[in-house]
């Protein structure tokens, strides 16, 4: 419940006149935003998240603390979420009072004093530091030589729905989210819409699951909604063990309240009582951001009893899993939340009938749920206008590897892979000649060669090309990439992560890895291609979940695009290939007991 | 479980019980407590799962020793011997792999004097291989106790390890 005495006096009256708890929160949020942006102090924001931390943002932030709230009080300082343009990290973003916004890129902690003297000691006395990269707003005498942030190719081509707040708000401050209209969709839903109406909007939107299977979200929710069980769960899957994908964690560490709002709406639309956010242990930044956001939501009457003054009550918690990739499979995830080994269950019963703790349950990916506030705030029809006929909305793409501008970019469905690579990614990395191969959709996805780069980013078009969109990871390999070696890396992951429940997966992955090992050492045997295919098909038929069923995907797609590289393994004349061609690749290799 | 085992390390048992109990007492709202959450709580505190923790978790969760072992042996983050003062992760996911993770790993292993996932002879640093640390845009990525460091190369990795060794020498790290 809101503590009404804490509200500023002038806005208190306004909020009371509107008679809603949300209006009061909005008033406080507006006050908070004005404090940060309207004063005489620059507001300095440092992009953080896992990627920012890896690039050195923590040291930069620590250096800035000297000027901040606990230092000399000369600036407002916030640690914000991931900047999608990760090649620029660490990014220091300065909102200059009564002027514009300046982005400093690839900042190191040593240059922080040089950067800050311009903003603090006088803009004419101290020139803008050379790390200044772009401005936003109007160009003035100080910034006219910089790039226009909004016109940078990676920004121009993005369509921001999930990432609208990324880099702009402190994920640890609920009022910054509310100041950006956060929780307005929830307020609208619980006070003026029935659960069925919310569900209808999600159905109309054409939203499909972003976890990999692309199942229509509204339809999935409609399996759960009719049940009258007193306890029903909606689960949010942020296991995200896919190497090369970090967009789920990106949402949690940059804008966790969007996920929380979406999950409450998921609960409201399906008449559920409990939400669980499922995250892998060890990813401390998204875990802490989510826990803190849930606490803030409880403190402000957004979770718990009678949400925002309505009749709807909903509880939420974070559940951590140990390291297990298969825990991302929906029934295995329920086993993990129950504290057991995360192996898949037989279906039926389906989760909507008997899921977590045998209660009716719905499971959705982080990205899927994070779209819901936008859908409810506007309408399903509005959302449907974005994207392609069969895949509405956007895709949150993680672009990594031999690419000039690695990062996390939100693009409208229907843009081509080539646009993402060339226009957003800037083409192949410096020092490389060309992009040879892409690995998409995680280790159970596939690879594609250049002839497929004109494929549209769309669930069905990607599936036809032999790769999958899956979780949105696109890993770029240049002309030096040895495809067999890359596939060996993926299969090694799949072998390591097989949960062991179904023997075709447990043993099949081990067989396939043996064969690929031989190929990388140029010791392939005549029947090896046939052996791979036989084993792969057996896994497809004989495994309970996608881990085994899709395990042959990387190999089959690689044969489609790079078949000749496999053939070359048999003539015995090739150099031993890849960084591990001498057989020295050191991998954890085991099957689970 | 024999009586002699139960009495072997009473302080350790007490600490394990406190870690298990902290799941209830450290929180405003009590979360769901399971065998898995209990093992995670113990490992967070002790950085490994001693035999006593298997027994205490079974008692705490009203489960069998078999139930607890089945969970502990399944998730690859659990370990059963005490690690060094600091754990260093090197990622071998496909992005890091393409960007040269093997050479980084070779450099780290050389610097630590180990040749697999093990602890350096001085007992200070434990090496682990990670399937993905989640900062692929900054590949290759290494980490110490979950704090990430990206854009690594063999030289920077050597420097990273020697800085870390120096820091542990000076007693700054945990």
pTM of the model: 0.94
Average pLDDT on B64-85 reads 95
Q: Please tell me which of the candidates B40, B91, B97 has its beta carbon nearest to residue A320.
A: B40
pLDDT per position as a tens digit, B114-158: 988 899 999 999 999 999 999 999 999 999 999 999 999 999 999
Q: Which residue has the tokens 């910089």?
A: A146
Please, where in chain A does CATH 3.40.50.11540 lie?
A: 174-384
Q: Considering only CB atoms, which chain A residues are within 8 Å of B74? A: 322, 324, 341-342, 499, 592-593
pLDDT per position as a tens digit, A64-101: 999 988 888 999 999 999 889 999 999 999 999 989 99
- Pair of tokens at residue B81: 């011997």
Adjacent-strand bridge partners of B119: B126
pLDDT per position as a tens digit, A319-348: 999 999 999 999 999 999 999 999 999 999
pLDDT per position as a tens digit, A290-326: 999 999 999 999 999 999 999 999 999 999 999 999 9
Is the CB of residue A505 less than 8 Å from the CB of residue A548? Answer: yes
pLDDT exceeds 80 at position A2: no
CA distance A235 to chain B (A): 14
pLDDT per position as a tens digit, A31-43: 999 999 988 899 9
Q: Considering only CB atoms, which chain B residues are within 8 Å of A243? A: 91, 93-96, 131-132, 136
**ipTM > 0.90 (yes/no):** yes
Q: What is the pLDDT of residue A585?
A: 56
Q: Considering only CB atoms, which chain A residues are within 8 Å of B93? A: 243-244, 493
Q: What is the pLDDT of residue B4?
A: 46
The distance from CA A304 to its chain's CA centroid, rounded to whole angstroms, is 27
Q: What is the pLDDT of residue A586?
A: 52
Please, where in chain A does CATH 3.10.20.600 lie?
A: 394-478
Residue A378: partners with Cβ closer than 8 Å, 6 or more residues away? none
Flag whether residue A337 sits within 8 Å of chain B, measured between CB atoms: yes
Average pLDDT on A444-460 reads 93
Is the CB of residue A107 less than 8 Å from the CB of residue A73? Answer: no
Is the CB of residue A591 less than 8 Å from the CB of residue A499? Answer: no
Average pLDDT on A277-298 reads 96
More reliable by pLDDT, A14 or A109: A109
Q: Considering only CB atoms, which chain A residues are within 8 Å of B38? A: 339
Q: What is the pLDDT of residue A469?
A: 80
Flag whether residue A297 sits within 8 Å of chain B, measured between CB atoms: no
Is the CB of residue A335 less than 8 Å from the CB of residue A345? Answer: yes
pLDDT exceeds 90 at position B73: yes
Ramachandran region, residue A216 (left: φ > 0; alpha: ψ -120 to 50; beta: rest): beta
Ordered domains of chain B (ranges, CATH): 3-72 (no CATH), 86-169 (3.40.30.10)
Average pLDDT on A464-482 reads 88
Average pLDDT on A404-409 reads 98
Residue A121: partners with Cβ closer than 8 Å, 6 or more residues away? none
Chain-chain contact of A402 with B137 (C-beta, under 8 angstroms): no
Please, where in chain A does CATH 3.40.30.10 lie?
A: 39-151
Nearest to B49 by CA among B57, B125, B156: B57
Please, where in chain A does CATH 1.20.1440.230 lie?
A: 483-570
DSSP class of A424: I
CATH assignment of A174-384?
Answer: 3.40.50.11540
Nearest to A296 by CA among A256, A252, A237, A253: A256
pLDDT exceeds 70 at position A200: yes
Please, what is the average pLDDT of chain A? 92
3-state secondary structure of B103: helix
Adjacent-strand bridge partners of A45: A78, A93
- Pair of tokens at residue A482: 């040895």
Is the CB of residue A453 less than 8 Å from the CB of residue A417? Answer: yes
Distance CA B86, CA B126 (A): 6
3-state secondary structure of A95: strand
Average pLDDT on A262-267 reads 98
Mutate to test the interface with A, among B41, B117, B137, B148 (most CBs of A within 10 A): B137
Classify residue A310 by burial, with Cβ atoms within 10 Å: 0-12, 13-18, 19+. middle
CA distance B101 to chain A (A): 9
Is the CB of residue A92 less than 8 Å from the CB of residue A46? Answer: yes
Kind plus residue range of the DSSP H or E element containing A288: helix A284-299
Is the CB of residue A399 less than 8 Å from the CB of residue A425? Answer: yes
Chain-chain contact of A477 with B98 (C-beta, under 8 angstroms): yes
pLDDT band at A520 (very low <50, low <70, confident <90, very high): confident
Which CATH topology does A483-570 take? Answer: de novo design (two linked rop proteins) (1.20.1440)
Flag whether residue A402 sits within 8 Å of chain B, measured between CB atoms: yes
pLDDT per position as a tens digit, A354-377: 999 999 999 999 999 999 999 999
Average pLDDT on B50-67 reads 97
pLDDT exceeds 90 at position A227: yes
Distance CA A7, CA A19 (A): 14
Q: Give domain A394-478's CATH number out of 3.10.20.600, 3.30.420.140, 3.30.2180.10, 3.40.920.10.
A: 3.10.20.600
Q: Which residue has the tokens 């890896």?
A: A54
Listing from the earlier edge strand, what are the strands of the sheet with A101-104? Answer: A76-80, A43-47, A92-95, A101-104, A132-136, A147-148
Mutate to test the interface with A, among B39, B102, B132, B145 (most CBs of A within 10 A): B132
- Pair of tokens at residue A40: 């005489």
Q: How far is CA A488 from CA A282, A331, A446, A554, B87, in A?
A: 26, 28, 12, 9, 27
pLDDT per position as a tens digit, B7-21: 579 999 999 999 999
pLDDT band at B166 (very low <50, low <70, confident <90, very high): very high
Mean pLDDT lowest for which of A264-268, A283-287, A531-535, B25-29? B25-29
Q: Which residue has the tokens 């054409």?
A: A206
Length of chain B: 174
In degrees and rounded to multiples of 5, residue B140 shows phi and psi of -75, 145
CA distance A168 to chain B (A): 20
Architecture category of domain A39-151 in CATH:
3-Layer(aba) Sandwich (3.40)
Nearest CA in chain A to B141: A54
pLDDT exceeds 70 at position A573: no
E-strand spans in A456-538? Answer: 473-478
Q: Please tell me which of the candidates B75, B102, B132 has its beta carbon nearest to residue A580.
A: B102
Distance CA B77, CA B95 (A): 21
């Amino acid at each position: 419940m809101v503590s009404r005495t804490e509200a500023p006096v002038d806005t208190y009256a306004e909020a009371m006149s509107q008679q809603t708890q949300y209006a009061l929160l909005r008033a406080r949020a507006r006050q908070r935003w004005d404090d940060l942006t309207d004063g005489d102090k620059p507001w300095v924001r440092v992009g953080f998240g896992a990627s920012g931390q890896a690039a050195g943002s923590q040291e930069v932030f620590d250096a800035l603390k000297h000027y901040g709230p606990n230092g000399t009080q000369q600036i407002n300082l916030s640690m914000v979420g991931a900047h999608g343009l990760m090649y620029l990290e660490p990014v220091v973003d300065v909102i200059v009072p009564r002027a514009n916004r300046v982005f400093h890129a690839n900042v190191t902690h040593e240059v922080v004093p040089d950067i800050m003297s311009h903003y603090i000691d006088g803009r004419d006395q101290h020139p803008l530091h050379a790390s200044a990269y772009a401005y936003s707003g109007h160009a003035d005498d100080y910034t006219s030589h910089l790039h226009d942030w909004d016109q940078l190719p990676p920004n121009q081509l993005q369509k921001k729905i999930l990432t609208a707040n990324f880099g702009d708000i402190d994920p640890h401050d609920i009022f910054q989210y509310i100041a950006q209209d956060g929780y307005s969709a929830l307020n609208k839903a619980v006070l003026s819409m029935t659960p069925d109406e919310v569900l209808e909007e999600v159905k109309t939107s054409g939203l499909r699951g972003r976890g990999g299977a692309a199942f229509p979200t509204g339809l999935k929710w409609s399996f759960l909604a009719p049940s009258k069980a007193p306890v029903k769960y909606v689960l949010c899957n942020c296991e995200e063990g896919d190497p090369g994908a970090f967009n789920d964690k990106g949402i949690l560490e940059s804008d966790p309240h969007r996920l929380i709002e979406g999950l409450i709406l998921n609960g409201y639309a399906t008449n559920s009582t409990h939400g669980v956010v499922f995250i892998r242990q060890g990813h401390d930044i998204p875990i802490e951001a989510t826990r803190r956001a849930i606490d803030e939501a409880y403190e402000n009457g957004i979770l718990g009893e009678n949400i925002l003054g309505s009749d709807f009550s909903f509880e939420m918690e974070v559940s951590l899993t140990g390291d297990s990739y298969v825990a991302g499979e929906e029934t295995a995830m329920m086993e993990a939340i129950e504290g057991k080994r995360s192996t898949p269950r037989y279906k039926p019963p389906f989760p909507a009938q008997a899921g977590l703790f045998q209660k009716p349950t719905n499971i959705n990916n982080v990205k899927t749920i994070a779209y819901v506030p936008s859908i409810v705030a506007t309408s399903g029809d509005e959302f449907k206008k974005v994207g392609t006929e069969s895949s509405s909305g956007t895709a949150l793409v993680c672009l990594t590897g031999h690419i000039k501008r690695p990062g996390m970019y939100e693009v409208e469905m229907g843009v081509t892979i080539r646009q993402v690579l060339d226009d957003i990614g800037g083409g192949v990395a410096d020092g490389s000649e060309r992009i040879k191969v892409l690995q998409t959709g995680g280790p159970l996805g596939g690879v594609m060669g250049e002839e497929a780069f004109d494929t549209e980013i769309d669930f069905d078009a990607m599936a036809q090309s032999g790769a999958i969109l899956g979780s949105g990871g696109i890993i770029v390999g240049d002309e030096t990439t040895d495809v067999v070696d890359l596939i060996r890396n993926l299969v090694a992951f799949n072998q390591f992560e097989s949960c062991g429940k179904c023997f075709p997966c447990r043993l099949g992955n081990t067989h396939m890895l043996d064969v690929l090992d031989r190929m990388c050492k140029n010791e392939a045997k005549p029947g090896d291609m046939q052996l791979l295919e036989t084993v792969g098909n057996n896994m497809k038929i004989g495994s309970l979940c996608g881990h085994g069923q899709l395990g042959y995907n990387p190999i089959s797609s690689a044969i489609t695009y790079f078949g000749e590289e496999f053939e070359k393994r048999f003539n015995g004349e090739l150099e031993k290939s890849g960084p591990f061609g001498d057989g020295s690749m050191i991998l954890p290799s085991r099957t689970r007991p | 479980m024999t009586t002699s085992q139960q009495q072997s390390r009473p302080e350790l048992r007490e600490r394990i019980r406190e870690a298990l109990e902290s799941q209830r007492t450290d929180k405003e709202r009590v979360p769901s407590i399971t065998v898995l959450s209990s093992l995670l709580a113990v490992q967070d505190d002790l950085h490994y799962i001693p035999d006593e923790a298997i027994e205490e978790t079974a008692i705490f969760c009203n489960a069998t020793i078999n139930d607890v072992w089945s969970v502990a042996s399944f998730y690859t983050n659990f370990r059963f011997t005490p690690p060094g003062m600091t754990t260093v992760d090197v990622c071998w996911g496909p992005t890091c792999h393409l960007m040269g993770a093997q050479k980084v790993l070779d450099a780290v292993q050389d610097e630590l004097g180990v040749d697999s996932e093990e602890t350096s002879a001085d007992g200070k640093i434990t090496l682990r291989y990670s399937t993905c640390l989640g900062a692929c845009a900054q590949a290759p990525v290494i980490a110490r106790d979950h704090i990430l460091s990206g854009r690594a190369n063999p030289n920077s990795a050597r420097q990273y390890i020697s800085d870390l060794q120096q820091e542990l020498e000076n007693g700054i790290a945990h």
